[in-house]
Amino acid sequence: MYEMGKAEIDAVIKVLKSKQFMRYRGGEGGFTETFERDLCAKFNISHALTVNSGTSALICALAAMGVGPGDEVIVPAYTWVASALAPLAVGAVPVMADINETMTIDPADIERKITKYTKAIIPVHMTNLACDMNAIMKIAKKHKLLVCEDACQAAGVSYKGKRLGTIGHTGAYSFNQFKNITCGEGGAVVTNDDRTYERSLMYHDAGAFTRNYASSVKEPFFPGVNYRVSEILGAILGEQLKRLDGILAKLQARRKIMVDIFAGTDKFKVVEHNDEANAVGLDIIFDSPKKALAFKEKHKIGLLIESGRHVYTNWEPLLEQRSFHPKMNPFNWTQRKIVYTQDMCKDTLEILSRSMNIGIPYGMNKKDVKACAKKLIA
């Protein structure tokens, strides 16, 4: 969480005084709808739907695009586990692909992992690091695949003139406490496709067919779940969105200070960004795990290989292909045998073993940021 203040408090007070906490049944045209409209305008996207988490946004996007039983979805081997679990929620299965030294999914390995059963790709923009979306969209077009951008950790970041999340067929954002903007827990689905948006509405709200907008929907209604948010969250997000570009600019400026100082060392390299002009995240990579471990011990910064559920080898329920009910297990619906092993993405493990994320000191003034960076190369 970077910034939160009086504006958000005042917005919540307005909701409480209104006694209208639900976005529907009297809440139409309220805070949540205003946030979605403003998000569309800022990100130059046709449709946005606020949901209760980034995980829900991914699931909703896949369901809306028609991904389901028998389908395979390519995901990176390094991401928050939800990116890989989302396909299972709609009956599909994830196929893990290696990352490269940009810390994002390797387009070359996407190509290698495509089968005749592949339906979609979920590129993940980890820690504000943009995937090579030009290459990924080219691959998707070549193989007629859908792309759901997981921009949960990169809301607002740009890539070659477009906001991450708006380049694929759908995009997903997270607004939990550790993201660029936050309402505690929340997310959003974005798309330019009218039908996908309508299906998102249906899937995210079991009562969609009862809402005021129902008569204008062209897609036949189907049963959904409940990923709705309250007007309290919508009110907070409306104020957070106003802060977003300022937050990113401040992160970018502090990143540049650190990168300029890091250029004077041969201890490590700054991880290459797929769009350096818009770079916000900051990872570093060493020549060897030994050098990375020595740096870790000196500066007490964890290696990416140690980041728990962000590394596929720790996705135990997935690797063991479990389900809440055997008859609902997506691995029973696959069109070929899916096998997961601990060493199936060796390149990812090797890269993560000698890499780490450097938190950008957002709250520091520029002088202290310089001192912090110089300490790391001393």
What is the rounded average pLDDT of the residues 52-68? 98
In 3D, which of 76, 124, 90, 126 has the Cα closest to residue 315?
A: 76
Task: Give pLDDT tens digits for 349-361.
Answer: 999 999 999 999 9
pLDDT tops 70 at residue 363: yes
What is the rounded average pLDDT of the residues 58-83? 98
Task: Give pLDDT tens digits for 173-193.
Answer: 999 999 999 999 999 999 999
- pTM for the model stands at 0.96
Task: Give pLDDT tens digits for 1-50.
Answer: 789 999 999 999 999 999 999 998 665 789 999 999 999 999 999 999 99
Please, what's the largest Cα pairwise distance for the chain?
65
Instruction: Assess contact for 98 and 352: CB atoms under 8 A.
Output: no
Q: Dihedral of CA 228/229/234/237: which sign?
A: negative
State CA 153 to chain mean position distance: 5
Domains, in order of start, for the chain: 6-242 (3.40.640.10), 243-308+348-377 (3.90.1150.10)
**Average pLDDT value for the chain:** 97
